Amino acid sequence: MRPPRAKAADAPRSGKARAGCHFPAVETRLVKTLLSETELQAGISRLAGRIQSDYAGRSLTILGVMTGSVVVMADLIRRLELPLRVGVVQASSYKGGLTSGPLSIAAELMPDVADRDVLILDDIFDTGRTMLGMLDHLQSLGPRSVRSAVLLLKEGRQEVEYRPDYVAFRIPDLFVVGYGLDYRDQWRQLPYVATLEPSDLADVGP
Ligand code: IMP
Ligand code: MG
């Protein structure tokens, strides 16, 4: 007997699906695309071009803030033709829901940054507190230089003066998921950036 066809193949691209579903094809119905795969890839290429020319002739240590930066990190580093070291750092001020808590940095996985040109990469610049905390921490470790790059900057949300050196996309003040970004540790695997409806934000996950 043939296996049943995945319902998602026939599903309309709008309308409401079950919250917390793990299949991207089905999630397509729940979420609204804000940045498509094509737009994202073009934005990452532009970002890579700027980084590439700014760091020409130097070697770069790129530090991805876990976990949200994993997808943009993978796409960005494959476009950089520079001597490149790649590391990760864990920082969280974000408890998986909508509000921020105090920032904690677990730097155990981080490579040595003393006397290096370092670029911190995060998924989104929201209040800015995570990035500012990371920069303070990094500065104390004696790098040659530190800059920051983010995939998204959420307009109108910043609570700090600092702005990232590189921003791939500016987005309105909406809660977004996909392309690494999560809501309660779900949705990171979507290949595009999407908004969740307020009702979905209440529904998803434990
Ligand atoms: P900030 O410290 O307020 O700038 O928050 C940065 C962190 O909050 C990011 O690294 C994300 O993990 C999380 N965050 C902020 N806004 C969103 C969003 O719209 N979707 C998913 N995560 C978000
Ligand atoms: Mg994050």
CA of 181 to the centre of ligand 2 (A): 7
Query: Is 45 contained in some domain?
Result: yes
Q: Which residues surround ligand 2, an ion (CB under 5 A)?
A: 68
Q: Please report whether residue 1 resides in a domain.
A: no
Residue 177 lies in domain: 7-203
Measured in angstroms, how far is the CA atom of residue 7 from the centroid of ligand 1?
A: 32
- Going by DSSP bridges, is the β-strand pair 117-125/60-66 parallel, antiparallel, or unpaired? parallel
Backbone angles phi, psi at 11, to 5 degrees: -70, 145
The answer to whether residue 60 is domain-embedded is: yes
**Ligand 1 pocket, CB under 6 A:** 68, 93-94, 100, 122-130, 175-177, 181-182
pLDDT tens for 15-58 read 333 444 454 544 555 678 999 999 999 999 999 999 999 999 99
What average pLDDT does this structure show over 100-128? Answer: 88
Q: Degrees (nearest 5) of the Cα angle 142, 148, 149?
A: 150
Q: What is the CATH number of the domain that holds 125?
A: 3.40.50.2020
Give the residue whose CA is nearest to atom 8 of ligand 1: 94
Place 127 in a pLDDT band, splitting at 50, 70 and 90.
Answer: very high
CA atoms of 185 and 206, how far apart (whole Å)? 10
Task: Identify the CA nearest to 32 among candidates 49, 52, 50, 12.
Answer: 12
DSSP-derived letter for residue 82 is S
Split into its structural domains, the chain has a count of 1
**Whether the predicted pLDDT of 151 surpasses 90:** yes
Gap between the Cα atoms of 56 and 52, Å rounded: 6
Find the 111 Cα to ligand 1 centroid distance in Å: 24
